[in-house]
Amino acid sequence: MGGTMIDFTTMAVFKTAAGETVAQMLSGTNETSGENSLMHYDQLYAVKDGGNTIYIAHGFGQGSTALPWQELRAFQVRDRQLVNSNIFPGSQPSLFVEFDLHHLNREEIPMILVIDSARRIFLPVQDNNEGFSGEYQELYFRNGVYKKR
């Protein structure tokens, strides 16, 4: 890869409704990530929508040492497969936030906040220089999708 880019490969291990354990490699959610997810997912949330369970994975990656990013990615288990679930605004399967450390006015990187059993999400908003604006965009889960408040 070159430079200071960190390359993560992600494997999901899950059980089907029949109790079968399945392992599946996760590919990236954009054209530049290719076969690898480039994310290290370390938190998993489950949100219920009627009889369906949607899993929200919270992950971290790095474009370079100065460009840390975060992603929320939605999945469902269908027919022994983990499939993306297009539940975020714009019918997307993921939400992505990146900040340029050179333009942050604080040492702490603003985090995506997932609360109320994943029924509410607060996304930190970038300013025009890829720094933190000090604001958060609230999303709420209703009728199977997240909507902006």
Domain locations in the chain?
10-148
Measuring CA to CA, how many Å separate 49 from each of 55, 76, 84, 102, 145? Answer: 11, 11, 15, 40, 9
In three-state secondary structure terms, 68 is strand
**Residue 8 confidence (pLDDT):** 62
Q: What is the chain's pLDDT, residue by residue, as a tens digit (149 residues)?
A: 455 555 667 777 878 778 888 877 776 554 444 555 567 888 999 999 888 899 999 988 877 778 888 999 999 988 888 889 999 999 999 999 998 888 887 678 899 999 999 999 999 999 998 889 999 999 999 999 999 98
Q: Are 110 and 100 in contact (CB under 8 A)?
A: no
Q: How far apart are CA 127 and CA 115, in angstroms?
A: 24
The residue among 96, 92, 106 whose CA lies nearest residue 69 is 96
